[in-house]
Amino acid sequence: MKVNLHPKEGLLINAFMLVFIIHAAQVGVGLVGLPRVVYLEAKHDAWISVFLAGMITSVVLTFMIQMLKQYDSADLYGIHVDIFGKWAGYSLNIIYMIYMTSTFFVILMNYVEIVQVWIFPTLPTWQISLVLILLIIYAVYGGIRVVVGVAFLSVIGTFWLVIVMFIPLQYGDFNHLFPIMNTNVKQLLRGAQSTTLSMLGYELILFVYPFVKEKHKAMFFVQIGNLITTIVFTLATLVCIVFFASNSLEKTIWPVLSMFKIVRLPNLERFEFIAVSFWMLIILPNMCFYVWAASKGFSRILRKKQKWGIWIIGIAAYGATFFIKSRYQMNTVTDLIAKAGFYFAFCYPVLLAIIVFIKKWFKGRESKHAETS
């Protein structure tokens, strides 16, 4: 397997699109329950934990981009083989493929659960998941540029929901935010860690990077994308803390959606129905990118057509939906993937970047020594 990828000119994307890619890949099904999850750990300072998580993500992204810059045009699959050799590299790549497929499955099932609870309580899981999986397969079949287009339309088409999110503030109590910094550092860090599932998605830059035209601008635009995500997540958490009483927020599973109940439009009583429907457009690029990145491994590692990988991942995820029969099972799987995501997306990339830096440094010293001798 070649370490560096050299896509055709027609497959390349402009660097500024990384803003939409990173933001669309991060904002997904995790946002609807994020304020509650963080509040359970950091209480009324939960918004500080969310902002802190965004800053940590920014640092991790810096390590990722600097690592990618050590190569001409490599993705994570190629870096693994270059650093660890063929067999160890292939093994790590397969593990990463399983992780991305599992993350796609968790996003899918969480959204299916939201649809069933809020709109169609009697609609079977297999019907909703089948429609979504076929839609994702159709989008990913079009290649990276179509997936990026989905991300762009997702951000443009749903950003108005951020504005609507501020309407509940008129019924809130800003005293819920005080006293600020009343929690200790340990609670703030635990709250930041609990945002893992919501923040996931930025690690997909490790697979998209070879398709970026102006690679020297990648750092700037990925940081902008992550900053927008951090601001949206922090504001959503702030609004929820202000709107809900502490006991209510702890018991409300999806506080962001619950807030939309307060919104009233002419001839429309249940605005949350609109929000849940539009949320499909928000999670669509999430799932498309994970399926695309995981299926890319079939062509990079197994030397099979990527389209085979898309179908295999789709069929495997659809088959797995029949094994999730209760809320408890879904929570268990979600928590497991969130813990795995903490290591795969936050810890491991930083460790890998340090290994790459050390290896390149030693290679540089050896080449200088050879030149002088």
* Tens digit of each residue's pLDDT (9 = 90 or more) over 16-48: 999 999 999 999 888 999 999 999 999 999 999
Task: Give the pLDDT of residue 373.
Answer: 60
Whether the Cβ atoms of residue 164 and residue 313 lie closer than 8 Å to each other: no
Task: Give the pLDDT of residue 302.
Answer: 82
pLDDT, tens only, 169-186: 888 899 989 888 889 999
Per-residue confidence band for 233, with pLDDT thresholds at 50, 70 and 90: very high
For residue 337, the surrounding DSSP H or E stretch is: helix 327-341
Task: Give the pLDDT of residue 163.
Answer: 86
Per-residue confidence band for 372, with pLDDT thresholds at 50, 70 and 90: low
What is the share, in percent, of the chain residues with pLDDT greater than 90?
A: 73
Q: What is the mean pLDDT of residues 242-266?
A: 87
Task: Give the pLDDT of residue 149.
Answer: 95
The CATH number assigned to the domain with range 9-364 reads 1.20.1740.10
Average pLDDT, the chain: 92
Task: Give the pLDDT of residue 371.
Answer: 67
Q: Which residue has the tokens 């290896």?
A: 359
Largest CA distance in the chain: 83
Q: How many angstroms separate the CA atoms of 362 and 373, rounded?
A: 16
- Whether the per-residue pLDDT at 364 is higher than 80: the answer is no
CB environment 269-303: b (16+ within 10 A), e (fewer): eebbeebbeebbbbbbbbbbbbbbbbbbbbbbbee
- Whether the per-residue pLDDT at 267 is higher than 80: the answer is no
pLDDT, tens only, 117-153: 999 999 999 999 999 999 999 999 999 999 999 999 9
Q: How many angstroms separate the CA atoms of 353 and 179, rounded?
A: 39
Q: How many angstroms separate the CA atoms of 292 and 271, rounded?
A: 33
The pTM for the full model equals 0.95
Q: How many CA atoms lie within 13 A of 175 on its CB side?
A: 2
Other beta carbons less than 10 A from residue 176's beta carbon: 16
pLDDT, tens only, 301-351: 888 889 999 999 999 999 999 999 888 899 999 999 999 999 999 999 999
Greater model confidence, 370 or 2 = 2
Q: What is the mean pLDDT of residues 88-109?
A: 95
Q: What is the mean pLDDT of residues 290-303?
A: 92
Q: What is the mean pLDDT of residues 256-262?
A: 88
Q: What is the mean pLDDT of residues 196-212?
A: 94
